[in-house]
Chain A
Amino acid sequence: MSLLLNIAVDGIAYGMILFMIAVGLSVTMGLMRVVNLAHGGFALIGGALAHWLGRELGLPFLAAAALAIAGTVALAMPLERLVYRRIYGFGELQQVLATIGLTFLMIATVNLWLGSSLLAIPLPEALQRSIDLGFRQLTAHRLTVIVVGLAVILGLWALLDRTRFGIRLRAAVDNRDTASALGIDTGRIYMLTFALGAGLAALGGILGAELLPIDAYYPLRYMVLFLIVVAIGGLGSILGSFAAALAIGLVETASRYLLPDLATIVTFALVILFLALRPQGLMGRAS
């Protein structure tokens, strides 16, 4: 029983991280139809900035994280304007190549700036403390991850369901041309959504550094993981990404506990099986 609870707690924390990083990818893919392999790069940039601000400049964790996320967003916006906007119209393969090229440039930049070693993000005392849950000890950090993950999904739901921006965004996802014909500034929506996705990726990268350690090769190492969440959840579906991220978090954590040698293989095999049976994902629309 305590094994099951352990799997549940660790799996949910892991799933929340995956969700935060991948949800931006899902929305940009659903909205702009861009296969953005460089998305993990924003998590890397966020993590690298947080490492630099926390370690080198000695800022406290909260300030470093907030500044790092702001910095990532500030980088993502001009990148969308200058590079991604041109990529939208490309074929699938060209998109893949262009975003691989961007990924390589991001890796090389971080490598040049901070080297290829592990970029640890110092945590404050308050987050390192253990909390007794009765059946196990849990670090406050992991609990924070779960709470922030829940806050992100609630915030996204409120943003998309309750605000004017959300209505416009959903209209643009459903039909870009009609939305733009109705006077919605789709270009601006694209940029803001892209920046939001990049900011969330940075948040996930910083909070998840304990589970998915940050180094220069981060975007390539975890690329498949993030893509899996999007593919299983269904393109453009936030709830789908959430369910998929939790499911993958739980499956991978469970196989790590039960079959430590085969964890990656079991997870990938299940993913392939699932997508063979349901290629459009959990909540995706059949194309």
Chain B
Amino acid sequence: MTRPFVSALVILIAAVAAFFLFPYNLAFLTRILIMIVLVLSLDLVLGFAGIATLGQAAMYGAGAYAAGLFAIHVWADPVAGLLIGALAGAALAALSGAVLMRTQGLTLIMLTIAVAQICAEIANRARPVTGGADGLRGIRPGKVLGIWEFDFIGITGYWYALAIAGLVFAALFVIGRSPFGLSLRGIHESPARMEAIGVSVYRRRLAAYTLGGGIAGIAGALSAQITQLVSLEAFSFTLSAEALIMLILGGTGRLYGAVLGTVIFMAVHHTAAANDPFNWLFVIGALVLAVVFFLPSGIAALPTSLKRLAKGGRHAGS
């Protein structure tokens, strides 16, 4: 039982150390934390429950727009904004999931993309409310818990995002070990057998999709509050695809795999895009192919594979 806590502690120490090591890159570090929350939500949906989706950005965007609009028109309190974002993400996931969870395979993947595109189209058309292609501007979040004000350097933003990411990580850690989490893993392994022992596969998958949507909504809300801007990019296919790539890179079904994959992907993105933003797609395309062909279980599985290799096991590296 101690190993998971050790890895969680290592991640936490690394996050605190990053704050002091890279004081001039706080905006980028905060961006990593937000993406970690999004990728964790995808890990619940895809890694635990095995729902293949390429539209997690739909819920992220819904959370971002909901939190942004809430902050502008109703109440600027950040924590309340996060709750609204989570609600919006969960509501969209429940609504679309009610239909989507009836399908599988290619149809499911395609429909998840389609839902995100519909959302982008609606946000684009509802220009008076969302600002359309210009993005939603003028979000001024209040003090966090009434104490810490958002500053220009992004110190508050970093600790705020770290706290939320830590809470989401802990919540998913508990969920992953709960009967619900275990039943999701069971559904992932064999839906037919879970159905046979009396589990309503459809309802569990819908519940997981809704919960994942809520967490993605939190990620969107965080991004809206910290960058004080929501653009149509929040719904983009690229965001969904990148989140998926980060998850696969780290390894699905493992929480620290999601964290590791996000950090590595974002670091590569940061350096590659800084050198040559146009050819970033070359890097990411090659990266994806390399991971799929040579590291199918992700980087998080590397120690296990190496250990097996050292022992000379028959299934070394698999």
Residues of A at the B interface (CB closer than 8 Å) are 29, 35, 83, 86, 90, 92-94, 96-98, 100-105, 107-109, 111-112, 116, 220, 223-224, 227-228, 230-231, 235, 261-262, 264-265, 268-269, 271-273, 275-276, 279, 281, 287
Contacts and interface: CB of A to CB of B under 8 A. Distances in A.
Given A94-B296, A100-B241, A105 B113 contact: no
Nearest to B117: A224
A224 B292 contact: no
Contact of B103 (A103, A235, A276): A276
B107 interface: yes
Interface in B105-146: 105-107, 109-111, 113-115, 117-118, 121-122, 125
B286 A227 contact: no
B99 interface: yes
Given A96-B52, A264-B118, A111 B278 contact: yes
A102 B46 contact: no
A223 B113 contact: yes
B262 to A, nearest CB: 16
Contacts of B86: none
A93 B52 contact: yes
Contacts, number: 120
B106 A220 contact: no
Given A105-B286, A227-B113, 16 more contacts: A29-B106, A86-B293, A92-B105, A93-B46, A97-B244, A97-B248, A97-B288, A97-B292, A100-B244, A104-B282, A108-B278, A108-B281, A112-B282, A235-B106, A265-B121, A268-B118
A104 B52 contact: no
A268 B296 contact: no
B114 A272 contact: yes
Given A224-B113, A261-B125, A265-B118, A98 B292 contact: yes
A198 B54 CA distance: 24
Contacts of A93: 46, 52, 248
A287 B286 CA distance: 34
29 contacts: A35-B106, A35-B109, A92-B109, A96-B244, A97-B292, A98-B289, A100-B241, A101-B288, A101-B289, A104-B281, A105-B282, A108-B281, A108-B282, A111-B278, A220-B237, A224-B117, A227-B106, A227-B109, A231-B107, A231-B110, A231-B111, A261-B125, A264-B118, A264-B121, A268-B121, A269-B118, A271-B111, A272-B99, A272-B114
Interface residues of chain A: helix, strand, loop or mixed (majority) = helix
Nearest to B252: A93
Contact of A108 (B109, B237, B279): B279
Interface string B233-259: 000011001001100100000000000
Contacts of B106: 29, 35, 92, 227, 230-231, 235
Contacts of B237: 220, 223
A272 B110 CA distance: 10
Contacts of A86: 293
Contacts of B110: 224, 227-228, 231
A260 to B, nearest CB: 11
A98 B115 CA distance: 22
B115 to A, nearest CB: 8
B80 interface: no
**A-B pairs with the 4 shortest C-beta distances?**
A101-B288, A104-B285, A108-B281, A105-B285
A227 to B, nearest CB: 4
B284 interface: yes
B286 A275 contact: no
Nearest to B245: A97
A102 B289 CA distance: 8
Nearest to B101: A276
Interface in B45-86: 46, 52, 54
B54 to A, nearest CB: 7
A228 B112 CA distance: 12
Interface string B278-317: 1101101111110111001000000000000000000000
Contacts of A107: 281
A276 B96 CA distance: 11
Nearest to A271: B114
Given A97-B292, A101-B288, A275 B111 contact: yes
